[in-house]
Structures are given as structure tokens and as C-alpha cells.
Amino acid sequence: MKYEPRPVLCVGQATLDCVWTAARAPSADEKVRAKDFRMQVGGIAANAAIAIAKLGGRSQLWSRVGSDQTGSIITRELVAANVNADWVQPQSAATSSVSSIVINDDGERSITNFRGEGLYEAMAEFPSNAIADFEVVLADPRWPQGARTAFTRAREANIPTVLDAEVGDTDALRDLIPLAQYVIFSRAGLSALVGESMPHDEALRALYDARHHKCVAVTLGEHGVCWVDSTGFHILPAFNVRAIDTTGAGDVFHGAFADAIAGTMPIREAMHFASACAALKCQARGVQQAVPTAQEVHEFLGANTNNGYENS
């Protein structure tokens, strides 16, 4: 019988992204003509779930949408991307989250995000024994109560947990950090917590707690990723690619990392794999279309064996 890995549970945000490609983003009182327009599912946890599915893994999203047209589109698109959306729950009298993204000629993004309304008011109900169906739990901090519930259950069931420590409610982030085994900040998420001036190694060492954590990391865009684990501080530079759209690179990184951990890959290899997935994603527009297949990642890694891993 073919071995079917259990899915990765992704908990958190799902949005509808309206993406314009234009020479530049408009400034105040200015109209800019777009070259292209697309609508696609976005949101931290949703992008991670889509990335895992595209990499050939299995993923399920636990999220909330409004009982509106946007919510229906989000759910439909997730299913089309092979993500199990059974727990994407429409909330009555809630409004779905929508983002407007302009990508300029340099590949930079300007984002206006409406986080939705009334989505997270109701308590997060999670079937008590359902967590055992999953290999890994990945959560973002946009739905703190959902993340807390899933992480707590995962810990009881000895299931690995990954936190995408993106910028958000700082108290929620502080609350979630000790509940996750693998904490991976974005640069903005880490700065929001410890300030701009603290060196990354110092900040990560201060946050790393061997009682809870397998690693505490920060992704640094084109500068790669660094982390602290039981063996010390490590830096992995990004792969050198021609980036044309970095939208969701961090989300894809986290999804790929969770997928790698689900396959019991060690931390360093998982960071390497996730960096390759995110770099390949940056070479093409969008998320779903741009995430590579596992085969493409392995070919890329085969052709780019050393991207300057450092250890201290």
C-alpha cells in the first residue's frame, strides 16, 4: 500500500488578493494604469497551505471567512489548489479579508489590507481528537485564539508546531511563542517585538528557550534566514535569483519548512529546502502559480549546492 503522509494543518488568515501589475504604485491623488490584474487567494496560512499542496504534500486550512461572495471565492480557490478547506468556516455577519497589491517594475509590493470584520469573535471550536490527523501544525498570529487552540492540542498530542511570527498583535505573538517548537519571525515581526536596534543573533538567543523550542529564526528577504537552535547561531544566505515578485515569499518559506519537518527533515536541511522554494517562488508572479514542485526544488538544489551556509 502506498504510504500517504498525514496532512499539515495550517491555521490562520485567508484573504482574497487583488493584484495589479503597474510601472509603479500610485501616490496620493494619482491614477496609474495597470498592465495586468489578477484575483487570487492570499493570507499567511492560506498561502502556506497552497505551497504545501503544490510541493506535493497534503494540507488542510483552518480559517474563517465572511458569509459573502469573497468568502465563497476564497473557499473555491483553495479547493482548486488542492487544499482541504472543510474547516474554512463562513461566519454569519462577518466580512471577508481582502488585500489590494500593486507590484511595480522592480518587483516591489505596495499593499492595502482589509483584515475583515467579525471573523474571529466567535470562539475557535476544534474537534478534540482531530489533531491526531495531522503531521505538523503551522499557524500565523492573525487568528490568535485559533493558533493557541491548535498549538495547545498539538503539544498534548506530541505533534510538531511551527509559528509564522509575522508582525501583528504583539501580545498575541508573545503568547504564542512558547507554544510553538519552531518559531520563524519575519524581520518586521521580530522588530515589533524586540525593537530595530538589537542584533539578530542577540534577539534570537534571548527568545530561544530550550524547554519549548527546537529553533527560533528570522527570515530576512534577499539576505536569507538566520536561526538559533540547540547547536548555536546559524546564517543561511538566500539563493541568488532574479526576483520579480516577492509576494508571499515568507508564507511559502513557512509552508515549505512545515512540509519538510513533516518529512522529518533536520532543521538545517529544512531551512535549505524552504529557502530554495521561496527563492524559486520569487522568480515568478503570484503564489500558487509560482511555487515550484518538489522535483523542481530538488533539481534547483542539485544545481546550487552551496549558498554560503555559516555556523557560529
Ligand X SMILES: Nc1ncnc2c1ncn2[C@@H]1O[C@H](COP(=O)(O)OP(=O)(O)OP(=O)(O)O)[C@@H](O)[C@H]1O
Residue numbers at the binding site for Mg ion (CB under 5 A): 166, 186, 250
201 binds, among Mg ion, ligand X, none (CB under 5 to 8 A by kind): none
Residue 150 binds ligand X (CB under 6 A): no
Residue 282 binds ligand X (CB under 6 A): yes
* In the complex, residue closest to Mg ion by CB: 250
Helix axes 44-54, 69-80, angle to 10 degrees: 20
Query: Judged by CB, which is closer to Mg ion: 63, or 95?
Result: 63
The alpha carbon torsion through 221, 226, 229, 233 (nearest 10 deg) reads -170
Strands of the sheet with 36-42, listed across from one edge: 36-42, 15-21, 97-103, 109-114
Q: Give the nearest distance from C-beta 190 to ligand X in angstroms.
A: 10
Binding mask 173-212 toward ligand X (x if CB under 6 A, else -) reads -------------xx-------------------------
The continuous run of DSSP H or E covering 88 comes out as: strand 84-91
Q: Which of 250, 261, 288, 291 binds ligand X (CB under 6 A)?
A: 250
Which residues from 258-277 bind ligand X, rule CB under 6 A?
275
Query: Judged by CB, which is closer to Mg ion: 131, or 147?
Result: 147
Q: Give the nearest distance from C-beta 216 to ligand X in angstroms.
A: 14
Name the segment binding ligand X (CB under 6 A); options: 62-70, 151-159, 278-286, 302-310. 278-286
Q: Give the nearest distance from C-beta 187 to ligand X in angstroms.
A: 6
Residue 12 binds ligand X (CB under 6 A): no
Dist CA 148 CA 307 (whole Å): 36
Dist CA 14 CA 66 (whole Å): 11
Dist CA 193 CA 202 (whole Å): 13
Residue 224 binds ligand X (CB under 6 A): yes
Residue 119 binds ligand X (CB under 6 A): no
The alpha carbon torsion through 267, 269, 270, 275 (nearest 10 deg) reads 120
Q: Give the nearest distance from C-beta 230 to ligand X in angstroms.
A: 21
Contact 297, 277 (CB under 8 A): yes
- Name residues whose C-beta falls within 8 Å of residue 201's C-beta, 6 or more positions apart in sequence: 226, 228, 233, 312
